Structure 1
Amino acid sequence: MLIETYADLICPWCYIGKRRLARALADRPRVQVELRWQPFQLNPDMAPGGMERSAYLAAKFGGTERARQIHLVVEETAERDGLPLRLDRIRRTPNSFDGHRLIRIAARHGLGDRMADALFHAYFVDGLDIGDRDTLAATAAGLGFDFAEIKTLLTGDAETTAVFNADATARQLGLQAVPCYIFNRRYALSGAQEPASFLPLLDLGVEEQEGVTAAAD
């Protein structure tokens, strides 16, 4: 079963949803799954260098107090899912385009899903600026990639067209919020759903999988 996750690296609900999908998959070990990350930029017009965090929160939520209340809900939810976020450490809201490129670069080596996890952790736990190419290269190095090689790829245009096209496809599909999960390019599930919400679609994947095997026999 192909599961494509449309998400953005600056979206805490995408991080929570990723963990919940993993828990659902652990409950359905018979499902043969290919996980594929698909980019969606919540702030496609963000400056390349990002934006100071307090200014961003004031613009998005109408003030830091309202943002603090929302962050508290997010952190409490994440804590219940085993993700101890530290949103207070974030100093800049980045442009996530290069982060999406890095995930696609890592996916060439079968490490796209692990790279997404590493970038989420770097941003939401360590408070790092994941729009900074040195930070991205260092994060990749933590997964065994060569720092200098990744920096060179990000300085160039590696995966630029692919990320632009994938983001455009998401908008053509009518996506306006993330996370959104597409199963076998036929069924969609939106939002940071509880693990149980994924199970019917995963069970459908098992049925289709066994149907194909039976037909082959």
Structure 2
Amino acid sequence: MTVRVHIWSDYVCPFCLITDELLARATAARTDVEIEHHPHELRPHPARTLRPEDPYLPGVWTTAVYPMARRLGVPMTLPTVSPQPRTELAFRGFQYASDRGVGAVYHRRLLTAFFREDLDIGDRDVLVRLARDVGLEPTGFASALDDPSYARRHREALAESARRGITVVPTVFVGGRRLEGVVTENVLHRALDEAVAA
């Protein structure tokens, strides 16, 4: 039996990188798991995005993100990009990458680019460069960012997120079980085993 894991994330959420890493570890030795990524914009237009020079982000990183990341062995740094980028364009690129079988690789590349390399993932040129990193043809990818069909598919994906009541990222569905926020690798293992046994 194949267990389907669905995960809702945003590329500017540090806890999403942590969960992505934990899920990769939990499924590394398994051949019975399929993971599907879904977008959820934390701050869609016209909501204001966060600024790392304001007190909020450094405070959250000092008290929550850095301690958790160190404990779980997931290297990351608070990005200096200010204000933090919107992720709609990056998610349009994700739809294009998914069509070409590299959606998961693109997803991971965007997270590491932002939280380990301090790259502005809202910048079109940066996105094209990252797409090239995962083997996508740059011209086709750049065109897809402006293609209304990919914009529509992203809107449809956000509508699905709303229908499922996603308000927290990461949110992970393992079989029929819903897990919100960062959970331990052991919890993921148990959820996968329970889904197989169901």
TM, length-normalised to structure 2: 0.88
Structure 1 moving runs of 4+ over 6 Å? none
The residue that corresponds to 1:201 in the other structure is: 191
The counterpart of 1:108, out of the listed 99, 102, 105, is 99
Map residues 145-156 of structure 1 onto 2, 5 A cutoff.
145-156=136-147
Instruction: Indicate conservation of the 8 Å contact 1:6/1:179, yes or no.
Output: yes
Q: Does 1:25 align with 2:15?
A: no
Unaligned residue ranges in structure 1 (runs of 5+): 59-63, 209-217
Instruction: Indicate conservation of the 8 Å contact 1:101/1:160, yes or no.
Output: yes
Task: Say if 1:86 and 1:46 are closer, same or farther in 2 by CA, change over 3 A.
Answer: farther
**Greater C-alpha Rg:** 1
1:16 CA drift (Å): 0.7
Q: Does 1:124 align with 2:115?
A: yes
Task: Say if 1:39 and 1:66 are closer, same or farther in 2 by CA, change over 3 A.
Answer: closer
The residue that corresponds to 1:41 in the other structure is: 41
Moved more, 70-79 or 32-41: 70-79
Cα deviations by residue, 1:134-192 (Å, 9 ceiling, x for unpaired):
111110101111212111111222422221112112112222111111123x2211111
The residue that corresponds to 2:177 in the other structure is: 187
Letter in 2 for 1:195: E
The counterpart of 1:80, out of the listed 71, 87, 90, is 71
The residue that corresponds to 1:90 in the other structure is: 81
The residue that corresponds to 1:215 in the other structure is: none
Instruction: Indicate conservation of the 8 Å contact 2:174/2:191, yes or no.
Output: yes
3-state SS in 2 of match to 1:152: helix
TM, length-normalised to structure 1: 0.81
Instruction: Indicate conservation of the 8 Å contact 1:19/1:81, yes or no.
Output: no
Unaligned residue ranges in structure 2 (runs of 5+): none
CA distance in 1, matches of 2:25, 2:113: 21
3-state SS in 2 of match to 1:93: coil
Cα deviations by residue, 1:186-216 (Å, 9 ceiling, x for unpaired):
22111111111112221023325xxxxxxxx
Letter in 1 for 2:9: A
CA distance in 2, matches of 1:158, 1:124: 29
Task: Say if 1:88 and 1:10 are closer, same or farther in 2 by CA, change over 3 A.
Answer: closer
Aligned Cα RMSD in Å?
A: 2.1
Identity %: 27
Cα deviations by residue, 1:16-42 (Å, 9 ceiling, x for unpaired):
11111112213xx34511111111111
